[in-house]
Amino acid sequence: MSIFGTILSKIFGSHTAAAATPAAAPAAAATAAAAPAAAPAAPAQPVDVDAVLSALAAKNPEKLNWQTSIVDLMKLLGLDSSLAARKELATELHYSGDMNDSASMNVWLIKQVMQKLAANGGKVSPDLMK
Protein backbone atom coordinates (compact mmCIF):
# COMPACT_ATOMS: atom_id res chain seq x y z
CA MET A 1 0.00 0.00 0.00
CA SER A 2 1.20 3.50 -0.73
CA ILE A 3 2.13 5.85 2.11
CA PHE A 4 -0.82 8.12 1.37
CA GLY A 5 -3.08 5.07 1.17
CA THR A 6 -1.87 4.07 4.63
CA ILE A 7 -2.52 7.60 5.95
CA LEU A 8 -6.00 7.48 4.44
CA SER A 9 -6.82 4.09 5.91
CA LYS A 10 -5.52 5.01 9.36
CA ILE A 11 -7.67 8.15 9.48
CA PHE A 12 -10.74 6.89 7.65
CA GLY A 13 -10.41 3.35 8.98
CA SER A 14 -10.62 4.44 12.60
CA HIS A 15 -13.82 6.33 11.77
CA THR A 16 -15.33 3.50 9.77
CA ALA A 17 -14.49 0.88 12.40
CA ALA A 18 -16.04 2.97 15.15
CA ALA A 19 -19.20 3.57 13.13
CA ALA A 20 -19.64 -0.04 11.96
CA THR A 21 -22.47 -2.01 13.45
CA PRO A 22 -22.34 -5.79 13.90
CA ALA A 23 -24.93 -6.21 11.12
CA ALA A 24 -22.83 -4.13 8.73
CA ALA A 25 -19.58 -5.96 9.52
CA PRO A 26 -20.22 -9.04 7.29
CA ALA A 27 -21.14 -6.81 4.35
CA ALA A 28 -17.99 -4.74 4.86
CA ALA A 29 -15.88 -7.91 5.09
CA ALA A 30 -17.43 -9.27 1.87
CA THR A 31 -16.73 -5.98 0.09
CA ALA A 32 -13.16 -5.94 1.35
CA ALA A 33 -12.62 -9.54 0.24
CA ALA A 34 -13.99 -8.76 -3.22
CA ALA A 35 -11.52 -5.92 -3.80
CA PRO A 36 -8.39 -6.50 -1.66
CA ALA A 37 -6.12 -4.26 -3.76
CA ALA A 38 -8.54 -1.36 -3.98
CA ALA A 39 -7.90 1.87 -2.12
CA PRO A 40 -10.35 2.63 0.69
CA ALA A 41 -13.57 4.02 -0.70
CA ALA A 42 -14.69 7.46 0.37
CA PRO A 43 -16.99 7.09 3.37
CA ALA A 44 -20.72 7.73 3.04
CA GLN A 45 -20.46 10.41 5.70
CA PRO A 46 -17.53 12.85 5.64
CA VAL A 47 -14.87 11.93 8.19
CA ASP A 48 -13.96 14.82 10.47
CA VAL A 49 -10.19 14.61 10.00
CA ASP A 50 -9.48 17.19 12.71
CA ALA A 51 -11.59 15.30 15.26
CA VAL A 52 -10.00 11.93 14.43
CA LEU A 53 -6.46 13.31 14.63
CA SER A 54 -7.19 15.38 17.74
CA ALA A 55 -8.51 12.25 19.47
CA LEU A 56 -5.35 10.35 18.52
CA ALA A 57 -3.19 13.25 19.72
CA ALA A 58 -5.03 13.34 23.08
CA LYS A 59 -4.04 9.70 23.65
CA ASN A 60 -0.45 10.21 22.55
CA PRO A 61 2.07 10.94 25.34
CA GLU A 62 4.20 13.03 22.96
CA LYS A 63 3.00 16.55 22.11
CA LEU A 64 2.79 16.48 18.32
CA ASN A 65 2.04 19.43 16.06
CA TRP A 66 0.28 17.35 13.39
CA GLN A 67 -1.60 20.39 12.03
CA THR A 68 1.54 21.90 10.48
CA SER A 69 4.19 19.17 10.57
CA ILE A 70 4.17 16.19 8.22
CA VAL A 71 6.72 14.51 10.49
CA ASP A 72 4.41 14.85 13.50
CA LEU A 73 1.37 13.73 11.48
CA MET A 74 3.22 10.59 10.38
CA LYS A 75 4.39 9.93 13.96
CA LEU A 76 0.84 10.39 15.25
CA LEU A 77 -0.35 7.74 12.78
CA GLY A 78 2.47 5.35 13.72
CA LEU A 79 4.21 5.68 10.37
CA ASP A 80 7.88 5.99 9.48
CA SER A 81 8.59 9.73 9.37
CA SER A 82 12.18 9.46 8.15
CA LEU A 83 13.43 11.66 5.34
CA ALA A 84 13.41 8.63 3.04
CA ALA A 85 9.73 7.95 3.82
CA ARG A 86 8.84 11.61 3.28
CA LYS A 87 10.69 11.61 -0.05
CA GLU A 88 8.72 8.51 -1.03
CA LEU A 89 5.46 10.27 -0.09
CA ALA A 90 6.56 13.36 -2.04
CA THR A 91 7.24 11.21 -5.11
CA GLU A 92 3.87 9.51 -4.72
CA LEU A 93 2.10 12.90 -4.53
CA HIS A 94 4.09 14.26 -7.52
CA TYR A 95 6.24 16.84 -5.71
CA SER A 96 8.21 18.74 -8.33
CA GLY A 97 10.47 20.74 -6.02
CA ASP A 98 13.94 20.00 -4.71
CA MET A 99 13.70 16.99 -2.38
CA ASN A 100 17.01 18.02 -0.81
CA ASP A 101 15.24 21.12 0.54
CA SER A 102 13.40 19.13 3.17
CA ALA A 103 11.85 22.19 4.85
CA SER A 104 10.06 23.27 1.66
CA MET A 105 9.13 19.70 0.84
CA ASN A 106 7.68 19.17 4.34
CA VAL A 107 5.53 22.32 4.11
CA TRP A 108 4.25 21.19 0.72
CA LEU A 109 3.59 17.66 1.97
CA ILE A 110 1.41 18.61 4.95
CA LYS A 111 -0.71 20.89 2.76
CA GLN A 112 -0.97 18.30 -0.01
CA VAL A 113 -1.92 15.52 2.41
CA MET A 114 -4.68 17.66 3.93
CA GLN A 115 -5.98 18.58 0.46
CA LYS A 116 -5.96 14.92 -0.62
CA LEU A 117 -7.77 13.89 2.59
CA ALA A 118 -10.47 16.45 1.76
CA ALA A 119 -10.63 15.22 -1.85
CA ASN A 120 -11.17 11.67 -0.57
CA GLY A 121 -14.16 12.47 1.62
CA GLY A 122 -12.52 14.01 4.66
CA LYS A 123 -13.87 17.09 6.36
CA VAL A 124 -10.73 19.20 6.75
CA SER A 125 -10.64 22.67 8.28
CA PRO A 126 -9.65 25.28 5.68
CA ASP A 127 -6.96 26.41 8.15
CA LEU A 128 -5.22 23.04 7.76
CA MET A 129 -5.00 23.40 3.98
CA LYS A 130 -3.30 26.81 3.96
The domain segmentation of the chain, as residue ranges, is: 3-129
How much is the pLDDT for 113? 98
How much is the pLDDT for 73? 98
Q: Which residues of the chain have pLDDT under 50?
A: 16-38
Q: Is the pTM of this model over 0.85?
A: no
- What Cα–Cα distance (Å) separates residue 12 from each residue in 38, 47, 72, 98? 14, 7, 18, 31
How much is the pLDDT for 130? 77
